[in-house]
Chain A
Amino acid sequence: MTELIQLLWSGVLNGLCYALIGLSLVLIFKTARILNFAAGTMAGFTGWFAWWWATKQGIPFLLAILVAIIMVAVATLLIERLTIRPLINENFLSIVTITLGLEFLIANISIRMFGGRAESFRIPGDIQFKNFEIGGVRFNWWHIVILIATFVILAIVGYIVNRTELGLAMRAFAEDKDAARLMGIKESTVSQWTWTLSVTVGGLTGILFAPVLFLQQDYMNIPFIKGFVAAILGGFTSLSGGVLGGLLLGELEALAVKYAPRQAAAALPVIIVFFILLIRPRGLFTRAKAHERV
């Protein structure tokens, strides 16, 4: 039993990573119908930036994270203003192309700023190297921090989306863009803050998982792909769906290694996702709007 719990816990850890990246993608897609292909690179850049402040500039760990997040958020506001907003009413492909260009640009800035060598993001007290056991199941302290931080991030995003004017505007745009415009909601403001919120969630994910995956130039690219799958699994327009999709994918991956034949273990989660989408093309956690159901 402890072995199974240990395995499920490892699935939870991966799942949290996919869930947060999935959430970051869904936030933008739900509101602006934009697929941000730079999400993984932006998340990784934030991780590197926080490391740079903490390790190279010597500022305290939490302050380094705060500075990195604020600076990346400000940069996102500028990027949104200069590259996304001029194309906001253009076709889907134009903006997707812009995000692909951003991915390339940020990856190149990152390699120039931080170099090609892998680095370890040391946490105060080296807690990423410290473990404890409960009932024979082994936990790592930093993984516990990731779990708690994920809940805090989800709670904050949930609060913003469901309890603030910005969230109301975001939901209005997600529901019906034209009606939202007629209600006087400024699309540019919603776009600006949605991007900032999404990149902040992604950036925090990059920081949280830097000590787990080590800082490498493309260390968030694979989580981005998995987060993308998670978002599709969740329906791509459901915030909770993106999160649950990520957790489901993480568990499927972990269980497949244990229970599937070795040759099929890698493909099995993808095959399962494929069949889920065949049965429920909208994803597991979304329902058709009332008028579409009619």
Chain B
Amino acid sequence: MSKKLLRLLALLAVFSLFAIGCGGDDDTSSTSEETAEEATEETVEECVLGPGVSDTEIKIGSSQPLTGNLAALGVQAEFALNATIKRINDGGGIAGRTISLTVQDDEFNPEKTVTNAQYFIDQVGVFAVWGSIGSAPTVAAIPLHDEAGIMTLFTWSQDTSLFDREAHPYFFSLNPSGYKQAVAFSNYFGNKFDYGSETPVVAGLVLSSPDGEEAAQGVRDGAAGAFEGGTQTWERDATTYQPQLLAMKDAGVTDIYTVVGDTQFAQIIQEMDQVGLEARVWGTNAVVTSNLIDLVGPLAEGALAVTVMTGLNADVPGLVQFREEMAAVGASEADLSSASMLAYSGGLALEAGLRAVGECLNADALADALLALEDFSTGGIMAPINFDPSTGLGNQGAIIQEVVDGVWTTVDEG
């Protein structure tokens, strides 16, 4: 009985060993399969395409003021976006993908920009929103972009809060904050500009908003702050600037730093003449348009601007290419402006970034590729581009332009 029991136990043991052995084989087999699956998953994870990216297409949106008082800028920017897309698509696309662009009018109204952002995300399914104009519209829309994981690229906006890649990891810009531009003006004015023998009085004329206050603070913080003559603010619903200009006249202001669009700048120049305020007037990128000169004619002569791009009359290869490509999409000479040059320069950086990324395109990959660009050249349109990892700003240059003989002319670079 005990022998039978022993045999049975031995048999069980053999079966058990066999079973364990077989089980061991099975386990080994399944571990190998899991490892392979994990590896495949890792490969897939590495190559998760971003929203709006398919094997053949990259969808991009742009919210522009195509109507309203900044409409000229929106139309000009749209031409530049189309020029870039034509260049890329005509060249066979990037990694087998062509770019499709959807442009929506926002009338420079933040509420409409938010609606457009929702449309881009929910209806179109874009990879990025590119080249939109204005601080308030961008500030309003960017939380939606961030939440949806889509990129906010090369907007013409200068609100300081945007330049924070911890808050907005997919924000990249070639246009410095309003504060930084105001400091650039102030330092140029205080350190390099020949203001003559009389002590200047420098005043800011800015929108009554946090954005405007930052710009005014930038003037104070730079070298021109030593000549500060006060700040005047205007409201979005202002009809004219005459009361502000009269206050400046009373204060003996010699130089006015403004943060306005080209039509408003034209109105300021016209009203300065009407109230007899003889002062130099300085603008930012937004005023460097031929439209300004068309609007006020000879009164525009001597107007100055602190910009991040060269003048249209500069002899640089990037401008030649810019003109050719803009003409190819039907843009006229009047459409060549800061707005179109900024959007176009952004397009050059975007193309370089997309080519560096290749097939596996998503927001993180493009962000890394943009950050890896070193001294990227726009052919002289702006200073070499190097994106700051903390701010997303790629253009640290400051160029001074002046209307000379009816043309915006570069008078200083640095």
Point out which of B232, B240, B267 has the most chain A C-beta atoms below 10 A from its C-beta: B240
Residues of B with C-beta under 8 A to A218? 67-69, 107
Question: Does chain B have a CB within 8 A of A74?
Answer: no
Q: Which one of A140, A225, A265 lies within 8 Å of B274 (CB-CB)? A: A140
In contact, B233 and A212 (Cβ under 8 angstroms): no
In contact, B242 and A13 (Cβ under 8 angstroms): yes
Residues of A with C-beta under 8 A to B208? 263, 266
CB contact under 8 A between A258 and B67, given known A118-B72, A129-B273, A131-B273? no
In contact, B71 and A216 (Cβ under 8 angstroms): yes
In contact, B246 and A129 (Cβ under 8 angstroms): no
Q: Which of B143-151, B290-298, B378-386 contacts A (4 or more CB under 8 A)?
A: B290-298
Q: Which one of B231, B239, B242, B276 lies within 8 Å of A222 (CB-CB)? A: B239
Question: Does chain A have a CB within 8 A of B8?
Answer: no
Residues of B with C-beta under 8 A to A78? none
Return the CB mask of B139-182 against A: 1 if under 8 Å, else 0: 00000000000000000000000000000000000000000000
Q: Which one of A3, A107, A143 lies within 8 Å of B250 (CB-CB)? A: A3
* Count of inter-chain pairs, beta carbons less than 8 A: 117
Q: Which one of B242, B250, B262, B297 lies within 8 Å of A10 (CB-CB)? A: B242
Number of B residues with CB within 8 Å of any CB on chain A = 41
Question: Does chain B have a CB within 8 A of A192?
Answer: no
Closest to A262 in B: B233
Question: Does chain A have a CB within 8 A of B66?
Answer: yes
In the complex, which residues 130-185 of chain A have their Cβ closer than 8 Å to any Cβ of chain B?
Answer: 131, 133, 138, 140, 143
Q: Which one of A115, A128, A258 lies within 8 Å of B270 (CB-CB)? A: A128
Number of A residues with CB within 8 Å of any CB on chain B = 45
Question: Does chain B have a CB within 8 A of A281?
Answer: no
A residues near B, CB below 8 A? Answer: 3, 6-7, 10-11, 13-14, 17, 107, 111, 115-120, 126, 128-129, 131, 133, 138, 140, 143, 212-214, 216-219, 222-223, 225-226, 253-258, 262-263, 265-266
Given A115-B71, A253-B239, 19 additional A-B pairs, CB 8 A: A10-B242, A13-B242, A111-B66, A117-B75, A117-B334, A118-B69, A118-B295, A120-B266, A120-B294, A126-B297, A129-B297, A138-B274, A138-B275, A212-B240, A213-B267, A217-B69, A217-B71, A256-B243, A257-B232
